[in-house]
Amino acid sequence: MIRFENVGLRYGMGPEVLRDVSFFLPERSFQFLSGPSGSGKTTLLRLLFLSLKPTRGLITIFGKDRSRITRDELPMIRRKIGVVFQDFRLLDHLTTYENVALPLRVRGREEASYRSDVVELLKWVGLGDRMHVLPPVLSGGEKQRAAIARALIEQPRILLADEPTGNVDPQLARRLLRLLIELNRMGTAVVIATHDIGLMDQVEARRMVLSGGRLEIYD
């Protein structure tokens, strides 16, 4: 599904943040991406999400060479990738329902055509009774679940989650992890960027560890 071959990246004239990174993310796979702060986890996620171009190496994403993907093709490919940001990035002036429905709305779909799907998904993530609430009054865990629901509404082929449990208590972190495992069982590949060892110990999954810009993989 996604393949990196000897990928390197540097910002401007600075040193290489990622060096000779190679891996393959198959369909329906589940993996953790870990490493100390500043090791390049977010940068690697940005490469996976096509918001950065590598300075060298080859990235093949859904069978397409990254360097040949045009600006106009990006939105269509991005719709196959769900992203959960560490800081949630919910729009404060839209309700939880509207935030989750946003990816469908920007595609120009009629609200009536997706209403039941959004409601169902919100119930699935446990926000059925918080649909018409604005994000500023949601708790950290609720915001995180709303962000996950938004990333899932288009049924992406892969979900990238940047520190999804970074802002929640251990009990809620376990609930969120169970949610992501359930999602993976339903067929979506999952990459969780985290430095929470406790979280990783809860699941037998592939670990991709970044250190000094290099990637080690522990299957």
Partner 1 sequence: MIKAGTGAIARSKLARLRERIEAGVKRQANNRLARKQTPIVPPDNVAGRAMVLVIAIMTFLSCLTLGAVTLVRDTAATWQTQIAREATIQIKPAEGLDMEEALARARAVAAGYSGVRSVEIVGREATQRLLEPWLGPALNMDELPVPRLIIVTIDPVNRPDFEAMRAELAQAVPNAVLDDHRTWVDRLVAMARTTVTIGMAVLALMLSATALTVIFATRGAMAGNGHVIEVLHFVGAEASFIARQFRRHFLLAGSRGAAVGGIAAIIVFVVFSWWSSRNIGTPEGDQAAALFGNFAIGLSGYLGVGLVVLLIAALTATTTHVTVIAYLRRIET
> Which value, to the nearest 10 degrees, does the dihedral of the CA atoms of residues 26, 70, 90, 62 take?
-10
Closest-CA residue to 189 (of 216, 160, 154, 147): 160
Q: Which stretch binds partner 1 (CB under 8 A): 28-36, 58-66, 89-97, 202-210?
A: 89-97
CA distance 150 to 169: 21
Least separation, in Å, of the C-beta of 94 and partner 1? Answer: 5
**Which of 136, 204 has the CB closer to partner 1?**
136
213 lies in the binding site for partner 1 (CB under 8 A): no
**Which of 115, 178 has the CB closer to partner 1?**
115
14 lies in the binding site for partner 1 (CB under 8 A): no
* Helices 96-105, 111-124: crossing angle, 10 deg rounding: 130
**Which of residues 69, 102, 172, 200 is near partner 1 by CB under 8 A?**
102
**Which of residues 27, 65, 111, 120 is near partner 1 by CB under 8 A?**
111
> Considering CB under 8 A, how many residues would be counted as binding partner 1?
36
Query: In this structure, how many other beta carbons lie within 10 angstroms of the beta carbon of residue 47?
Result: 23
Q: Specify the residue for token string 């060298």.
A: 56
In sequence order, the β-bridge partners of residue 81 are: 158
Closest-CA residue to 140 (of 165, 168, 164, 172): 168
User: Where do contacts with partner 1 occur on this chain (CB under 8 A)?
Assistant: 49, 51-53, 71-72, 74-76, 78-79, 83, 85, 89-95, 97-98, 102-103, 105-108, 111-112, 115, 119, 131-132, 150, 154
